[in-house]
């Protein structure tokens, strides 16, 4: 069981990184009017840029954060790794929450966020109580279903998937 407990977080992080779409964090676009150029003002807490670009940047940040986590050693290392992984997942979700989407897409965005939160909870639950036989069982299958739903909703919104976040 101890070997599984040490291997599982590293495997989970590898899967999270592998499923993440590319992209760079978007910078605020500019608007032009005649010969004048000015930054587009956005509401505080709302991202500027095309949702796909911003979401891709958030995913890249998530991937970089998870990829930089040290390999956990011992129970304390595992606990710290899992805490850092959960914080990275939450940062991705919080970033997605700031996407500026068309008002007609707001309901789909809220559903996407809910699915991402449920996915993070399912993964956290599975990391806390993995299948002793090394299989994915209920937590893994629930995560797979939620991942598929997140990908579907992301496609509707035109934003890249970031499986694992």
State pLDDT tens for residues 112-147.
999 999 998 888 887 666 555 555 455 568 888 999
Task: Report if residue 164 sits inside a domain.
Answer: no
Q: How far is CA 60 from the centre of its chain?
A: 9
Strand segments (E) across the chain: 30-33, 36-39
Confidence of residue 87 (pLDDT cuts 50, 70, 90): very high
Is residue 75 scored above 80 in pLDDT?
A: yes
Which has more pLDDT, 162 or 156? 156
> Range of 49's domain?
2-157
- Convert 19-49 to b/e letters by CB count within 10 Å (16 or more is b): bbbebebbeeeeeeeeeeeeeeeeeeeebbb
Domain count, the chain: 1
Which has more pLDDT, 81 or 35? 81
Task: Report if residue 162 sits inside a domain.
Answer: no
Task: Report if residue 134 sits inside a domain.
Answer: yes
Task: Report if residue 163 sits inside a domain.
Answer: no
Question: 98 with 49: CB under 8 angstroms?
Answer: no
Task: Report if residue 112 sits inside a domain.
Answer: yes
Beta bridge partners of 33: 36
Task: Report if residue 23 sits inside a domain.
Answer: yes
Highest mean pLDDT of the ranges 21-25, 33-37, 129-133, 158-162? 158-162
In the chain, pLDDT over 90 holds for what percent of residues?
38
Output the pTM of the full model: 0.67
Task: Report if residue 48 sits inside a domain.
Answer: yes
Task: Report if residue 165 sits inside a domain.
Answer: no
Q: Write the DSSP string, 35-80.
A: TEEEEPP--TT---S-HHHHHHHHHHHHHHHHHTSPPP-HHHHHHH
Is residue 93 scored above 90 in pLDDT?
A: yes
Confidence of residue 111 (pLDDT cuts 50, 70, 90): very high
């Amino acid at each position: 069981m101890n070997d599984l407990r040490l291997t599982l977080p590293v495997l989970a992080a590898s899967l999270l990184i592998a499923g993440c779409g590319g992209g760079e964090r978007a910078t605020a676009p500019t608007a032009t009017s005649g010969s004048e150029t000015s930054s587009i003002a956005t509401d505080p807490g709302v991202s500027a840029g095309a949702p796909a670009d911003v979401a891709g940047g958030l995913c890249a940040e998530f991937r970089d954060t998870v990829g930089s986590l040290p390999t956990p050693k011992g129970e304390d290392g595992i606990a710290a790794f899992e805490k850092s992984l959960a914080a990275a997942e939450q940062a991705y979700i919080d970033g997605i929450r700031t996407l500026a989407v068309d008002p007609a897409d707001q309901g789909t965005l809220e559903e996407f966020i809910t699915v991402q939160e449920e996915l993070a909870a399912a993964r956290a639950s599975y990391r806390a109580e993995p299948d002793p036989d090394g299989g994915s069982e209920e937590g893994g299958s629930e995560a797979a279903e939620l991942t598929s739903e997140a990908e579907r909703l992301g496609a509707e919104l035109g934003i890249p998937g970031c499986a694992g976040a």
